[in-house]
Amino acid sequence: MENIKAKIQLHKKWLDRTGGQQLDIQNEEFSHIAFEDEDLNTSVFDHIKFTSSTFNNVNLGGSSFFNCIFSSVHFENSFLRKCEFHQCKFINCTFSEDEITKAEFYDVSIEFCTFSTIQLGWSYFGDCLISDTTFDTTELDRLTFIDSKFNAVTFKNVKFNVDYPLKINHHENITDIDQLNVSIKNL
């Protein structure tokens, strides 16, 4: 834990342009760690396993994640705008009151997760598997899923924008829950 704290301090100096270095972590495991009130924007995480950890009020905007595993991780009031996730796995994670707009997910697996009161607009999911997951009270403006698979996914109280409709694979201009449910069943 001390190692990550030191790296975060260096990252803060780098962000303030007072020395330090960008946070770039590779091949590590973090278990039962609470990241709270941190500015980790534009960080790079490669082959990281996060287990039973929390991100509370953390700015991860513009960060990149490669081959990371998130297992029983809780994200709350965090900023993940313009994050990129490549070949990552989210298992039994919760996202609550987060902004995940304009994020990009490539070849990502999302299983047994809950998204609650989330801004997810303008995000892109390419070649993703989403299974046993609930999206509750989520904004879906121009959300795009391409070549993605769904299994037991529930959307409830979601917010659509008729000017910027949702797209799932070849189903375009989805602007209400009935169209969304039909699109998922027809995949």
**Domain map of the chain by residue range?**
21-185
pLDDT in the model for residue 26: 96
Q: Name the class of domain 21-185.
A: mainly beta
What separation, in Å, do the N-terminal and C-terminal C-alpha atoms of the chain show?
44
- pLDDT confidence band for 75 (50 / 70 / 90): very high
- pLDDT confidence band for 2 (50 / 70 / 90): low
Please tell me the distance from the alpha carbon of residue 72 to that of residue 140, in angstroms, as a whole number.
24
CA atoms within 13 A on the CB side of 162: 0
Report residue 90: phi and psi, to 5°.
Answer: -115, 120
pLDDT in the model for residue 73: 98
Please tell me the distance from the alpha carbon of residue 48 to that of residue 22, in angstroms, as a whole number.
16
Bridge partner list, 35:
55
User: In this structure, what token pair is assigned to residue 125?
Assistant: 């999911």
pLDDT in the model for residue 175: 84
Among 17-21, 30-34, 58-62, 171-175, which stretch is predicted with the lowest mean pLDDT? 171-175
- At 90-110, the pLDDT tens digits run 999 999 999 999 999 999 999
Mean pLDDT, the chain, whole residue set: 94
> What is the pTM for the complete model shown?
0.94
Please say whether the beta carbons of 28 and 2 come within 8 A.
no
Please tell me the distance from the alpha carbon of residue 142 to that of residue 33, in angstroms, as a whole number.
34
